Amino acid sequence: MKDVLERLEDRRAEARLGGGQKRIDAQHARGKLTARERIELLVDKGSFEEFDMFVQHRCADFGMEKSHIPGDGVVTGWGTVNGRTVFIFSKDFTVFGGSLSGAHAAKITKIQDMALKARAPVIGLFDAGGARIQEGVDALGGYGEVFKRNVIASGVIPQISLIMGPCAGGDVYSPAMTDFIFMVKDTSYMFVTGPDVVKTVTNEVVTAEELGGASVHAVKSSVADGAYENDLEALLQMRRLIDFLPSNNTEGVPEIPSFDQPDRIDMSLDTLVPDNPNKPYDMKELILKTVDEGDFFEIQGKFAPNIITGFARLEGRSVGIVANQPMVLAGVLDSDASRKAARFVRFCDAFSIPILTFVDVPGFLPGTSQEYGGLIKHGAKLLFAYSQCTVPLVTVITRKAFGGAYDVMASKHIGGDINYAWPTAQIAVMGAKGAVEIIFRADMNDAEKIAARTKEYEERFLSPFVAAERGYIDEVIMPHSTRRRVARALSLLRHKAAETPWKKHDNIPL
């Protein structure tokens, strides 16, 4: 019996060595952790149970028949994050560059199937070069199986991808179909084809960072939802993110004990909005002063920062925050901001996370570059996303809510459940100057008349009261009591039920 047990330990030790000490050292020298070290940091201590440690590929071409490494380039299993179940696969770059064979794919699809059955999130840690070139169509077929499951699980269980090394081909397409992608700065890259292929096909010379580093995907392309300094920070932040998310689409949001009183008032908010309507202020200050313990997990913080999206809690329960940011482009809605917020709103709605919207928006960004880029369609995405929400929608207009953007930003008309305005709110088709120039064009040469008309417009329309008189705003609230009011509103809406007519699925403008 002792021999049998020892044999098991030997085989386990061999599997744990992956592609060998030399490659593990190379991994460390690049500032990266190994697949198993990453899992240890991600899950609660001692909670990881590994499956399929001895699986090997079945390829017999290009010398592969002589090269078998137990585990075949991916470590799979399940564990807990602060006590809640998560399923994990972690690509092992030391084994054939983490590339995907048929057997490797079967390990991942087994985890995906188990996670779907258990209704628990899947976290993929990627550090891999795509389809295993020696395997050909078996690898491509394997990816197809993974992709299909990504789609079936979408909207049922959260799927999170953390990119922790150079990733190509299927190892970027599968993450692209998950809910969130995060990267590690300077050591992770995402591209459909790497710099060498780019040079061969297009003659373009480009570095891996320029082609697909975190500086590209978390800032310019919006493929990534955020980037972290190193493996350790990234993994700890994934633990934090998981705490905000429901395990599936029916469980409801997690509740974490909060030490922050829900009726806490903050007098400094009464002076947050400057007297001058063209002066910016930081909407993040309002978010941090409203939510529990100032704890805010931002999504896509570096992309389209004219809109803010992220998770927070009120009375210990997760809430999605969407807020215009007057500090950037005056908080205008452009194509990028609309796309960013639309995707976030849809995630929240799919997983029954209530949405709190803070509005200070001068409208949609005019101009050819926006129109040529499809602003109409991208803006419609956000309008569509909010309009189809069945989760509780609580909205606070702090200052401007102009034009179509007023409608879009979770207004009463498209489904806002509780809509508040601060006394500083200005709800109108547009600002006074633009409005007067259009409706009093005939008086344009008479400065006195124009000044009087402008004042008249400002007094009549640039306040929350016209909307409040019509019931489009439920209540004009004191800024200092924002936290108390939204906490009460969310509590009121906790068991909101909304029926929508049966359909196979909608046809959101893509």
Binding site for ligand HXC (CB under 6 A): 96-97, 99, 129-133, 140, 143, 166, 168-170, 173, 193-194
In the complex with ligand HXC, which residue's Cβ is closer, 55 or 304? 55
Nearest-approach distance from CB 246 to ligand HXC, in angstroms: 30
Rounded to whole angstroms, the Cα distance separating 394 from 385 reads 15
- Map tokens 């399929």 to a residue: 52
Give me the least distance between CB of 431 and ligand HXC, in Å please.
47
Question: Looking at 169, 213, 301, 403, which residue is catalytic?
Answer: 169
Q: How far is the CB of 98 from ligand HXC (least distance, A)?
A: 7
Give the DSSP letter string of 271-311: GSS-SSTTS---HHHHHHHHSGGG--EEESTTSSTTEEEEE
| 98 vs 277, beta carbon nearer ligand HXC | 98
At 473, list the tokens: 């705003």
CA distance 396 to 419: 6
Closest CA to 217 of 174, 177, 178, 186: 186
Instruction: Give the residue with the Cβ less far from ligand HXC, 192 or 450.
Output: 192
What's the min distance (Å) between Cβ of 57 and ligand HXC?
11
Closer Cβ to ligand HXC, 73 or 326, answer by number: 73
CB of 68 to ligand HXC, least distance (A): 14
- Compare residues 193 and 388 and give the one whose CB is closer to ligand HXC: 193
- Residue 403 carries which DSSP code? H
CA 398 – CA 272 distance, rounded (Å): 9
Q: How far is the CB of 466 from ligand HXC (least distance, A)?
A: 53
Burial environment of residue 215 by CB neighbours within 10 A (0 to 12, 13 to 18, 19 or more): middle
Of 78 and 191, the one with the shorter C-beta distance to ligand HXC is 191
| Separation CA 283–CA 301 (nearest Å) | 13
Cβ count within 10 A of residue 441 = 8
- Catalytic pick from 97, 130, 170, 301? 170
Indicate which residue of 404, 415, 434, 452 is catalytic. Answer: 404
The three-state (H, E, C) secondary structure of 138-189, written as one string? HHHHHHHHHHHHHHHHCCCCCEEEEECCEEECHHHHHHHCCCEEEEECCCCE
Q: Which residues does residue 394 pair with via DSSP β-bridges, in sequence order? A: 356, 418
Q: Is 404 a catalytic residue?
A: yes
For ligand HXC, the closer of residues 140 and 493 by Cβ is 140
User: Which of 504, 508, 278, 484 lies closest to 381, judged by CA?
Assistant: 508
Nearer to ligand HXC, 209 or 260 (CB): 209
Give the chain's end-to-end CA distance (angstroms, integer): 62
Centre a 10 Å sphere on the Cβ of residue 468 and count the other Cβ atoms it contains.
18
Instruction: Name the nearest CA neighbour of 177 among 139, 151, 142.
Output: 151
Minimum distance between the CB of residue 16 and ligand HXC, rounded to whole angstroms? 18
Mention every residue, 6+ apart, whose C-beta is less than 8 A from residue 119. 156, 157, 247, 248, 250, 251
Q: What is the DSSP string of 457-497?
A: HHHHHSSSHHHHHTTSSSEE--GGGHHHHHHHHHHHTTT--
Active site residue 405: yes
161 or 309: CB nearest ligand HXC: 161
Minimum CB separation from ligand HXC for residue 165, in Å?
A: 7
**From the CB of 282, what's the least distance to ligand HXC, in Å?**
40
- Return the sign of the alpha-carbon dihedral for residues 182, 301, 312, 158: negative
Tokens of 172: 């970027």
Return the active site residues: 169-170, 404-405
